[in-house]
């Protein structure tokens, strides 16, 4: 997807600039042409010589460089880029880009270019939350800029919160997904995904369920649609908007979700089982509301069918099958065991014991495993994580 794509990496003065050497190497590894523009502040964190070595191109850092500007170097860079990626994007550079200021080479190139713009915010959590920064980001988004991140976690200053630049591989995957969407790389691909919780009835007014919000599954569905896929979304009861263009099948119980999945999976190229499906259901469902009487109640449960295992076991028209594993301990061990046991092509595991991620949260982190490989997708907003995951699934699906 990145072969011969021209990516201008614009590095501003944040501590996360040290990640740009790895980011450049990974972009080039996937076939991209990378050129680097740095602010003077950026050079305090990583040297131009380092970036020249990893990019295999001279680094540009001075708007008033007589040699470069003799040939209008900033205009040449502006026309060369297929994508401008500002990483890290500090609060200062975001503000200057939003205001249209062109007082250094980085901001001048951006103002002079009609190339798509992506920014990876990186700053102290309070600076990120400040209303001025949020207004600047909102304005840039309205103008069409892509905002990739920030991730959450511990920061160099010791604070914890949003403001970390996404890890290099996540930015690579977001870049891949951007070009995939631009090319309609998933055009002609049908993807079916399950999302949200199931409800197992006890009587007409009570049911057994779980804390799944559906946010992760819906984010993945939206990312796939953005990349051009036709998306079937099999959803339990949730309280979030349905992604536009998704074909939705609403279900309550695990049995209903199982029936919908086995109907749609053979017509799909990729199947993603993201829903939090009840493992068991009550044997007997009361016709009338169960009245409170005895101090204790015994409910006999029976096992529900295994949706993702049954899809993976299809002998005809089997899709590329991706499972999810929500774990509270030994995440890698249990996830890999589940992948092997159920004959999955890929599994995405998250540790739901950690606060601020997983069920009902807006952020998540995933450990993704497949035969012969793995990738850790760090804690970030589920919308961004959905895009990174679709790019990763696509990279493996294309190799099957």
DSSP letter, residue 71: T
Which residue among the candidates 20, 60, 157, 348 is catalytic per the annotation? 157
Whole-number Cα distances in Å, 3 to 6, 29, 30, 82, 375: 9, 9, 6, 12, 21
Give Cα 125 distance to the centre of its chain: 20
Q: What is the chain's alpha carbon radius of gyration, rounded to the nearest angstrom?
A: 24
* Cis peptide bond prior to 150, omega within 30° of 0: yes
Distance CA 365, CA 139 (A): 28
* CB < 8 Å & 24+ apart, contacts of 21-27: 21/46, 21/50, 21/51, 21/54, 22/168, 23/87, 23/168, 23/171, 23/172, 24/51, 24/54, 24/55, 25/54, 26/168, 26/169, 26/172, 27/2, 27/172, 27/175
Structure tokens belonging to residue 310? 């049954």
SS3 state of residue 66: helix
Asked if residues 323 and 273 have their Cβ atoms less than 8 Å apart, the reply is yes
In whole angstroms, give the CA distance from residue 101 to residue 309: 55
State the chain's maximal CA–CA distance in angstroms: 90
Q: Is 157 labeled as catalytic in the residue annotation?
A: yes
For 1-51, give the DSSP string. --TT-EEEEEE-SSGGGGGHHHHHHHHHHTT-EEEEEE-TTGGGTS-HHHH
Beta carbons of 37 and 9 less than 8 angstroms apart: yes
Q: Angle formed by the axes of helices 91-99 and 131-142, to 10°?
A: 50
Angle of CA points 94, 98, 100, to nearest 5°? 120
**Residues known to be catalytic:** 157
């Amino acid at each position: 997807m990145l072969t011969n794509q021209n990516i201008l990496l614009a590095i501003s003065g944040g501590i996360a600039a040290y990640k740009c050497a790895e980011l450049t190497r990974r972009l080039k590894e996937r076939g991209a042409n990378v050129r680097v523009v740095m602010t003077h502040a950026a050079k305090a964190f990583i040297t131009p010589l380092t970036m020249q070595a990893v990019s295999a191109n001279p680094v540009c850092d001075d708007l008033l460089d007589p040699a470069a500007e003799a040939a209008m170097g900033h205009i040449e860079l502006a026309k060369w880029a297929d994508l401008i990626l500002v990483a890290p994007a500090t609060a200062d550079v975001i503000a200057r880009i939003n205001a249209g200021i062109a007082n250094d080479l980085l901001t001048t190139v951006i103002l002079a270019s009609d190339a798509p713009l992506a920014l990876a915010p990186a700053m102290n959590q309070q600076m990120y939350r400040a209303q001025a920064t949020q207004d600047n980001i909102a304005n840039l988004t309205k103008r069409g800029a892509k905002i990739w991140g920030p991730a959450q976690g511990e920061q160099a200053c010791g604070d914890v919160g949003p403001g970390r630049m996404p890890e290099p591989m996540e930015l690579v995957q977001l870049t891949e997904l951007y070009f995939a969407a631009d090319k309609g790389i998933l055009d002609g691909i049908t993807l079916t995904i399950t999302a949200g919780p199931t409800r197992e009835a006890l009587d007409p007014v009570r049911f057994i369920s779980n804390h799944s919000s559906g946010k992760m599954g819906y984010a993945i569905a939206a990312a796939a649609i953005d990349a051009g896929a036709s998306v079937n979304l099999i959803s339990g009861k949730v309280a979030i908007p349905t992604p536009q263009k998704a074909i939705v099948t609403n279900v309550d119980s695990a049995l209903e979700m199982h029936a919908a999945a086995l109907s749609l999976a053979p017509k799909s190229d990729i199947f993603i089982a993201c829903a939090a499906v009840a493992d068991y259901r009550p044997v007997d469902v009361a016709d009338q509301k169960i009245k409170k009487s005895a101090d204790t109640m015994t409910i006999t449960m029976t096992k529900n069918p295994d949706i993702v295992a049954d899809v993976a076991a299809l002998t005809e028209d089997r899709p590329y099958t991706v499972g999810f594993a929500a774990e509270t301990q030994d995440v890698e061990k249990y996830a890999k065991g589940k992948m092997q046991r159920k004959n999955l092509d890929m599994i995405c595991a998250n540790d739901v014991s950690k606060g601020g991620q997983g069920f009902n949260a807006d952020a998540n982190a995933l450990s993704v495993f497949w035969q012969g490989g793995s990738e850790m997708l760090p804690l970030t907003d589920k919308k961004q994580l959905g895009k990174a995951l679709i790019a990763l699934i696509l990279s493996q699906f294309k190799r099957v």
